[in-house]
């Protein structure tokens, strides 16, 4: 069971012998999602710019150039934010999302949520499209109509899901108030109603303005006012209402994204830039636009705010000077493969084969994100789908169609692996379209790469002398649909993939140019206990066992090195995780197995006989139960979970133990009454840890495999210990080394 407060405690199910087993404690959750796609912006009374993005919200203060980010940890209900509006009286900012949730943040960054619309199951579509605060009323444009909310009493007033003669539950995309009337954009045209009526739910109070008033009934998306007139955006046209009909002011070559005003003059944006409604362009923006807004600065001057394609935000003053807004955000919205390099940097691939989209790769050093895209690096594609961190520290990015790219220690591309530089081949019909899956070094230092869908080859090797060779699939030469790779201690290359070929074991037996003695064996579900032939993950654990993640569960080969041309090692199905789609498996420093599945993450004990913990959206802040990739940094113990919607991370005790003791205990003094845990750090492997009184009486005992142990300040009877000095005695079961430290327990 997982209890989420400030700290997440997951009790191990395994029984301890002689001492209590350590709980798996998850603390310091973080969410990382891309804030580069801005959908809407508003300015609060303090002149701060609040931005709604596809991955959360950020606020930028032009006065000092700072930005602050908000995601789902103690802030947003949903990251898929669609619109945002500020209350000019209180400074509260209202945030609407795709799922119907509305979150409110105060000027001092205190958050609360309004989830009534999100829970309104009578409406199939509940997206919030626009928000507008006028007086004490919040007007909410939704995919089923208009909702009004009393911001002072914090109560909903009414739901208008039938507007005039329009179809019931007609979507409303935009709302505006001009004098005593409410205007709204719908797929059926522009609708308007007086505000002094008893209720807006009465269809007869609404007027529909359509072709009879000079406006098309399709493509109407935005209504805006400059305080004296009403303007409408319909496709490539911006129109103004003259009291009886609409006059076209401007027609553009591409769809109009937004309309705003500087004093009384309207400005529109298209993907190509901004211009006023007379057709006079502003200065150019650095890249394609997703939209814009305008606002009056504290000093009374005006500025444009441009929503840059995949680059966040930029400001432009009236002289045309552009100021980029730096957002510390990953460049990718999808995290489909994760690895940690020798420096502790996290690497993430973005290509999603289901949607056929990708935004390159991202690297995070714990403070700053760096993107690897076709625009920011020499990698000519954004379809990066595999990350491989080699034993010698090299990082290789495998792409969907352009080979692989090795990243040097300076962060730049150091080497290209493709059909021109290696034996890698392309897919059938296109020799230059090269897919590279996992890459790995064997014990001799030879680099092996999976050459996915290459037809006449499944593996390519590059030895220490630079000679490159190719190796075919013995069973079905034209069905080389492989992706994950593991190399065991005997040099057997184990391959799996989404093509339904099962698991293949290949070994060239140190004679790469003589295939006559090669081992090439296929392990399938029809002849073994393999749960399914679709294999998404392969990894070797700390004991040399091969763990296999399939579309229908997990299997393990305890002795993969015993494979021969005629013998298939025994495959054991892991019953603790059956019939679940496995996307990735990572073996941590404690030899626990972190299994990313379509139903969350499961942590298995060393032999996989027990589920030590399960992590899902029901008991943690992860963004989706369909976790695509998982990794754990053995140096810091931080675990990472990659999803299509973003990235989650949490601190764990899965830390590689010290070779020798360097025992430290903190915080000191330790106060159990505040609910925290004492961290006993610097342990050697397989430590028996005992808490003793100065007189040598046992207070508590525990066992741990890793570098840290935790104590909750209680004795063996579950009682909180009294204040005083206590002794920590630790002994390694593997080396017999011991160490001692003191603990000061306060009140």
Band of residue 18 on the pLDDT scale cut at 50, 70, 90: very low
Band of residue 8 on the pLDDT scale cut at 50, 70, 90: very low
| pLDDT of 14 strictly over 60 | no
Question: What Cα–Cα distance (Å) separates residue 289 from each residue in 151, 305, 410, 470, 732?
Answer: 33, 10, 32, 46, 60
pLDDT score recorded for residue 747: 83
| pLDDT of 9 strictly over 70 | no
End-to-end CA distance of the chain: 29
User: What percent of the chain has pLDDT above 70?
Assistant: 96
Q: What is the mean pLDDT of residues 710-729?
A: 94
Q: What is the mean pLDDT of residues 270-280?
A: 97
Q: Residue with structure tokens 């060393």?
A: 606
pLDDT score recorded for residue 540: 98
DSSP classification of residue 119: H
pLDDT score recorded for residue 11: 34
pLDDT score recorded for residue 401: 96
Chain centroid to CA 624: 9
pLDDT score recorded for residue 508: 95
Task: Give the three-state DSSP class for 203.
Answer: helix
| 61: phi then psi, degrees, rounded to nearest 5 | -105, 105
Per the DSSP assignment, residues forming a β-bridge with 396 are 388, 406
Q: What is the mean pLDDT of the chain?
A: 93
Instruction: Identify which of 583, 576, 531 has the alpha carbon closest to the alpha carbon of residue 552.
Output: 531
Q: Is the peptide bond before 417 cis (omega within 30 degrees of 0)?
A: no
| pLDDT of 696 strictly over 90 | yes
Cite the beta strand spans of 297-350 per DSSP E: 302-308, 312-317, 322-325, 337-340, 346-349
Q: What is the per-residue pLDDT across 361-380, written as a single tens digit (0 to 9) for each?
A: 999 999 999 999 998 999 99
Band of residue 217 on the pLDDT scale cut at 50, 70, 90: low
pLDDT score recorded for residue 220: 83
DSSP classification of residue 285: P
Per the DSSP assignment, residues forming a β-bridge with 710 are 679
Query: What one-character-per-residue DSSP string does 637-677 give?
Result: -EEEEEETTEEEEEE-S--PPBSS---EEESSSB-GGGT--
Half-sphere exposure of 297 (CA within 13 A, CB side): 14
Task: Give the three-state DSSP class for 516.
Answer: helix
- Does this model's pTM top 0.95? My answer is no
Question: What Cα–Cα distance (Å) separates residue 81 from each residue in 103, 200, 225, 655?
Answer: 10, 27, 24, 36
Half-sphere exposure of 599 (CA within 13 A, CB side): 13
| pLDDT of 98 strictly over 80 | yes
pLDDT score recorded for residue 476: 77
| pLDDT of 13 strictly over 70 | no
pLDDT score recorded for residue 22: 56
Question: What Cα–Cα distance (Å) separates residue 297 from each residue in 10, 61, 291, 415, 731?
Answer: 50, 11, 19, 48, 65
Question: What Cα–Cα distance (Å) separates residue 503 from each residue in 15, 152, 427, 482, 598?
Answer: 34, 63, 21, 9, 21
Instruction: Report the distance separating Cα 355 and Cα 363, nearest Å.
Output: 22
Q: What is the mean pLDDT of residues 10-25?
A: 45
Q: What is the mean pLDDT of residues 93-99?
A: 98
pLDDT score recorded for residue 23: 60
For the chain, give the longest Cα–Cα distance: 95
Chain centroid to CA 685: 33
Domains of the chain, first to last: 337-651 (2.130.10.10), 659-745 (2.60.40.4070)
Instruction: Report the distance separating Cα 215 and Cα 683, nearest Å.
Output: 74
pLDDT score recorded for residue 236: 94
Q: What is the mean pLDDT of residues 532-540?
A: 98
pLDDT score recorded for residue 169: 97
Q: Is the peptide bond before 407 cis (omega within 30 degrees of 0)?
A: no
Band of residue 21 on the pLDDT scale cut at 50, 70, 90: low
Q: What is the per-residue pLDDT across 151-167, written as a single tens digit (0 to 9) for each?
A: 999 999 999 999 999 99
Question: What Cα–Cα distance (Å) separates residue 171 from each residue in 85, 134, 141, 224, 381?
Answer: 19, 21, 8, 17, 38
Q: What is the mean pLDDT of residues 69-91?
A: 97
3-state secondary structure 343-401: CCCEEEECCECCCCECCCEEEECCCCEEEECCCCCCCCCCCEEEEEECCCCCEEEEEEE
């Amino acid at each position: 069971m997982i209890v989420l407060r400030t700290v997440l405690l997951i009790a191990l199910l395994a029984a301890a012998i002689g001492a209590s087993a350590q709980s798996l404690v998850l603390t310091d959750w973080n969410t990382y999602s891309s804030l580069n796609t801005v959908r809407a912006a508003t300015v609060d009374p303090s002149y701060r710019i609040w931005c709604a993005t596809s991955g959360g919200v950020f606020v930028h203060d032009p006065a000092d150039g700072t930005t602050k980010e908000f995601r789902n940890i103690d802030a947003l209900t949903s990251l898929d934010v669609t619109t945002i509006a500020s209350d000019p009286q209180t400074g509260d900012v209202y945030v609407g999302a795709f799922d119907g949730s509305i979150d409110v943040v105060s000027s001092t960054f205190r958050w609360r949520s309004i989830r009534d619309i999100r829970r309104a199951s009578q409406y199939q579509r509940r997206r919030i499209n626009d928000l507008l605060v006028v007086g004490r009323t919040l007007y909410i444009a939704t995919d089923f109509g208009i909702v009004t909310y009393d911001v002072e009493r914090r109560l909903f007033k009414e739901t208008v899901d039938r507007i005039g003669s329009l179809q019931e539950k007609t979507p409303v995309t935009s709302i505006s108030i001009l004098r005593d009337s409410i205007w709204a954009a719908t797929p059926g045209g522009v609708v308007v109603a007086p505000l002094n009526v008893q209720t807006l739910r009465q269809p007869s109070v609404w007027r529909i303005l359509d072709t009879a008033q000079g406006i098309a009934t399709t493509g109407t998306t935005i209504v805006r006012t400059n305080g004296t007139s009403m303007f409408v955006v319909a496709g490539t046209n911006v129109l103004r209402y003259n009291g009886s009909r609409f006059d076209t002011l401007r027609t553009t070559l591409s769809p109009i994204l937004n309309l705003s005003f500087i004093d009384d003059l309207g400005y529109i944006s298209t993907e190509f830039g901004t211009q006023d409604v007379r057709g006079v362009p502003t200065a150019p923006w650095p890249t394609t636009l997703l939209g814009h807004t305008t606002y009056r600065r504290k000093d009374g001057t005006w500025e444009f705010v441009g929503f840059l394609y995949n680059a966040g935000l930029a400001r432009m003053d009236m002289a045309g000077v552009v100021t980029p807004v730096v957002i510390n955000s990953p460049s990718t919205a999808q995290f489909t493969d994760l690895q940690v390099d020798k420096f502790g940097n996290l690497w993430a691939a973005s290509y999603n084969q289901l949607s056929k989209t990708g935004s390159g790769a991202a690297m995070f050093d714990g403070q700053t994100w760096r993107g690897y895209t076709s625009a920011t690096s020499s990698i000519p594609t954004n379809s990066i789908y595999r990350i491989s961190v080699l034993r010698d520290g090299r990082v290789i990015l495998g792409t969907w169609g352009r080979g692989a790219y090795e990243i040097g220690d300076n962060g730049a591309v150091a080497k290209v692996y493709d059909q021109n530089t290696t034996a890698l081949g392309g897919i059938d019909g296109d020799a230059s379209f090269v897919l590279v899956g996992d890459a790995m070094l064997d014990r001799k230092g030879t680099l092996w790469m999976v050459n996915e869908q290459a037809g006449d080859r499944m593996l390519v090797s590059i030895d220490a002398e630079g000679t490159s060779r190719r190796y075919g699939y013995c069973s079905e030469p034209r069905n080389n649909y492989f992706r994950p790779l593991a190399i065991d201690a005997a040099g057997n290359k184990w391959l799996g993939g989404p093509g339904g070929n099962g698991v293949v074991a290949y070994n060239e037996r140190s004679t790469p140019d003589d295939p006559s003695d090669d081992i090439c064996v296929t392990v399938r579900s029809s002849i073994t206990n393999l749960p399914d032939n679709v294999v998404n993950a392969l990894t070797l654990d700390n004991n040399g066992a091969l763990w296999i993640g399939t579309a229908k569960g997990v299997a393990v080969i305890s002795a993969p090195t015993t494979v021969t041309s005629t013998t298939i090692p025994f495959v054991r199905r892991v019953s603790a995780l059956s019939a679940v789609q496995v996307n990735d498996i990572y073996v941590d420093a404690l030899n626990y197995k972190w299994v990313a599945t379509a139903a969350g993450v499961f942590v298995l004990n060393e032999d996989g006989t027990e589920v030590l913990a399960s992590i899902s959206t029901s008991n943690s802040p992860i963004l989706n139960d369909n976790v695509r990739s998982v990794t754990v940094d053995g140096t810091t113990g931080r675990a990472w979970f990659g999803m299509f919607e973003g990235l989650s991370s949490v601190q764990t005790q899965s830390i590689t133990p010290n070779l020798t003791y360097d025992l430290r205990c903190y915080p000191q003094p330790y106060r159990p009454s505040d609910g925290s845990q004492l961290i006993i750090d610097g342990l050697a492997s397989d430590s028996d840890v005992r808490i003793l009184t100065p007189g040598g009486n046992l207070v508590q005992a525990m066992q741990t495999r890793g570098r840290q142990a935790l104590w909750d300040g209680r004795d063996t009877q579950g009682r909180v210990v009294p204040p005083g000095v206590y002794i920590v005695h630790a002994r390694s079961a593997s080396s017999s080394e011991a160490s001692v430290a003191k603990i000061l327990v306060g009140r």
